[in-house]
Amino acid sequence: MSDSHTTDEILEWASSNIILRNSPFSLERYPFLEQIYQDISPIQVFRKAAQVGITTYHIIKSLWLADTRTVKIIYFFPTDSDVRDFSKDRVAPIISASPLLRERVRGTDNVGLKKLGDSSLYFRGLLGKVRVRSVDADYIIFDELDMADRSQKEYARDRILHSSLAWESELSIPSLPGVGIDASFKASDQHFWLVKCPSCSTEEPLEEHFPDCIREVAGEVSIVCPKCHTPLDVRCGRWVAKHPQQGEVRGYQLSQLIAGIISPGRLLSEFKGAKNETVKRRFYNSMLGLPYAGGMVPLDGIHLQACLGSEPMRLEVGPSYMGVDVGDTLHISVGKMTTEGRVRIFWLEATESWERLDELIEACGVLCTVIDAMPYKHSAKELALSHPGRVYIAYYQGEHLAKGREGKGEKAVPKVNIDRTESLDELVARLSRGEISLPQGGGAVEEALRHLGRLRKERREGAGGRTVLGYAHGLEDHYAMALNYMLVATAIAPIRAEREGISLKGLRTFK
Ligand SMILES: [Zn+2]
């Protein structure tokens, strides 16, 4: 690090004036933060895990700058409700715990603006209603913007054009490779916290060797050398730039592997417990501070061609599962589970005939059908009543897969609530891994491939005004939904044919 971009001023100021959770400010337990607190490079990027102290660092750095200079600082979050939470829960307690800051803060208690002497600290939602273009600034900070609109960020960046300081910082938990904070980090000098192995002298980024850098030895889980598995003391590391030639932007990678705030034992058990794509993605993003592609990248033609199996499309008899997407046309997918837990689809069909569903259920020996409850709920319920216990009407609602019943007495039918994003993530991931195969040939197969290829993720506002990622609605993706319902059917089928005694007799041959 060049000396002109280094100072002990922030650490000294924080030690005298900041109290965190009833204790005087200290980095004794977080040695990886020391260089960061000394670093005043104008442009900084932090690709980070959750809870590694980087947000607190930015609050303290902002308060220090506002206290010791006359500056305007804008701290950006994705939405206005993020701003309210941050200002109330993170900033206000730090100010009220500090005798100096309590004294220096002027004016009314405003969540969007703190005045400190002649300095101003603005908190703004980038997607919010308060225009980002209205204030010039000396220091702008973008926090958790990975899912915010990038064009808004460029407007915000114009705020520092006329400042002599012109500092800019971006920090976020990553999402997709090559997107948002990951793209910014890759354009930086990429500092990694390296810990030298006392046995073999290996010194490499732990994040890039996960899970080889974490081991259970004699009941104790430790961070270890990825080469020789000697336990490492992660406090004894140093920051090294992977691409020093990209030095105009200072980048730091922060994970729970180096922060030591979450124990290695808990990291390992969470990693092993991450069974579905949503949980796995959350682990990579929030614990390792790494982008994760699995299940997020839309399916492309190459993936999809690999999903074609070797068998021609034909109706088969035997325990099977059906998914039905409902509109004026019914899109149907029927498949079997293989002994290896794969799903082999043998029939795809689009029809306007509800009777065709009865026919297929009886003829193929479908154990479990999941059908869209909407928009023709009456017809879906009739189907369920005609095949007691074997047909579930489905709703995309709730955050978990949950079975229940709808209606009273003789009219009650099984229903299932499905988390749309989570279930489609799972469908995409299983298709990508080749765990679902489609039959060969036929217009229906080609149409199904087209529908699957249209699955796209988009940003939208979720509960409490927070930005979430979900699959776009309103696309011509009916077969994708039929496959999704069929997968749910394999997961919730209550019975095996023999146990339930479902008769597979009286089957007809279809053309
Ligand atoms: Zn080693």
pLDDT (tens digit, 9 = 90+) per residue, 19-64? 999 999 999 999 999 999 999 999 999 999 999 999 999 999 999 9
- What is the average per-residue pLDDT within 429-444? 86
In this prediction, residue 300 carries a pLDDT of 62
d(CA 214, CA 354): 55
Percent of the chain with pLDDT over 70: 89
Q: Which residues lie closer than 8 Å to 340 by C-beta, 6 or more apart?
A: none
d(CA 118, CA 500): 77
Q: Which residues lie closer than 8 Å to 29 by C-beta, 6 or more apart?
A: 260
Instruction: Tell me how far the alpha carbon of residue 233 lies from the centroid of ligand 1, in angstroms.
Output: 12
Question: Does the pLDDT at position 438 exceed 50?
Answer: yes
In this prediction, residue 476 carries a pLDDT of 84
Q: What is the DSSP letter of 231?
A: B
CATH of 3-287, one of 1.20.1250.20, 3.40.50.300, 3.30.950.10, 2.60.40.10: 3.40.50.300
Is the Cα dihedral 249, 255, 258, 261 positive or negative? positive
Instruction: Tell me how far the alpha carbon of residue 224 lies from the centroid of ligand 1, in angstroms.
Output: 8
Say if residue 293 is exposed, middle or buried (CB neighbours under 10 Å; 0-12, 13-18, 19+).
Answer: middle
Instruction: Tell me how far the alpha carbon of residue 434 lies from the centroid of ligand 1, in angstroms.
Output: 36
Residues at Cβ < 5 Å from ligand 1 ion: 197, 199-200, 202, 225, 227-228, 230
In this prediction, residue 63 carries a pLDDT of 97
Length of the chain, in residues: 511
Backbone phi and psi for residue 133, each to the nearest 5 degrees, phi listed first: -85, 0
Instruction: Name the pLDDT band for 359 (thresholds 50, 70, 90).
Output: very high
d(CA 188, CA 42): 12
Beta strand 43-48 with 250-254: parallel, antiparallel or unpaired?
parallel
Q: If DSSP states are collapsed to H, E and C, what string results for 435-494?
A: CEEEEECCHHHHHHHHHHHCCCEEEEECHHHCEEEEECCCCCCHHHHHHHHHHHHHHHCC
Instruction: Please give the CATH topology (third level) of the domain spanning 301-500.
Output: Nucleotidyltransferase; domain 5 (3.30.420)
Q: What is the token pair recorded at 224?
A: 């270890």
Residue 245's alpha-carbon distances to 187, 190, 249, 250, 254, in angstroms, are 10, 10, 10, 11, 21
Question: Does the pLDDT at position 319 exceed 70?
Answer: yes
In this prediction, residue 506 carries a pLDDT of 33
Check: pTM over 0.75? Answer yes or no: no
d(CA 49, CA 33): 14
Q: Kindly calculate the radius of gyration of the chain based on its CA atoms and give it in whole angstroms.
A: 28
Backbone phi and psi for residue 242, each to the nearest 5 degrees, phi listed first: -80, -30
**Residue in the block written with tokens 């070797």:** 310
pLDDT tens string 491-505 = 888 654 434 444 433
pLDDT tens string 278-309 = 788 889 999 999 988 764 556 665 577 778 88
Beta strand 167-172 with 237-241: parallel, antiparallel or unpaired?
unpaired
Instruction: Tell me how far the alpha carbon of residue 230 lies from the centroid of ligand 1, in angstroms.
Output: 6
Tell me which residue of 156, 148, 152, 205 sits closest to 175, measured CA to CA: 148
Geometric angle at alpha carbon 437, from 395 and 423, rounded to 5°: 25
d(CA 432, CA 271): 21
Instruction: Tell me how far the alpha carbon of residue 144 lies from the centroid of ligand 1, in angstroms.
Output: 35
Instruction: Tell me how far the alpha carbon of residue 231 lies from the centroid of ligand 1, in angstroms.
Output: 8
Indicate the SS3 state at residue 331. Answer: strand
Instruction: Name the pLDDT band for 142 (thresholds 50, 70, 90).
Output: very high
Q: What is the token pair recorded at 433?
A: 């891994």
In this prediction, residue 493 carries a pLDDT of 85
d(CA 301, CA 450): 9
Count Cα neighbours of 143 within 13 Å in the Cβ-side half-sphere.
25
- Helix/strand/coil percent split, the chain, to 5: 35, 25, 35
**Fold agreement between 3-287 and 301-500:** no
One-letter amino acid of 219: G
pLDDT tens string 215-242 = 988 889 999 999 999 999 999 999 999 9
* Domains in the chain: boundaries: 3-287, 301-500
Instruction: Tell me how far the alpha carbon of residue 228 lies from the centroid of ligand 1, in angstroms.
Output: 4
d(CA 413, CA 392): 7
Instruction: Tell me how far the alpha carbon of residue 227 lies from the centroid of ligand 1, in angstroms.
Output: 5
Instruction: Tell me how far the alpha carbon of residue 212 lies from the centroid of ligand 1, in angstroms.
Output: 12
Instruction: Tell me how far the alpha carbon of residue 31 lies from the centroid of ligand 1, in angstroms.
Output: 22
Question: Does the pLDDT at position 332 exceed 70?
Answer: yes
Instruction: Tell me how far the alpha carbon of residue 215 lies from the centroid of ligand 1, in angstroms.
Output: 13
Indicate the SS3 state at residue 42. Answer: coil
Q: What is the DSSP letter of 325?
A: E
One-letter amino acid of 355: E
Q: What is the token pair recorded at 71?
A: 């500056």
Instruction: Tell me how far the alpha carbon of residue 237 lies from the centroid of ligand 1, in angstroms.
Output: 14
Where residue 385 falls (left for φ over 0; alpha for ψ -120 to 50; beta otherwise) is alpha
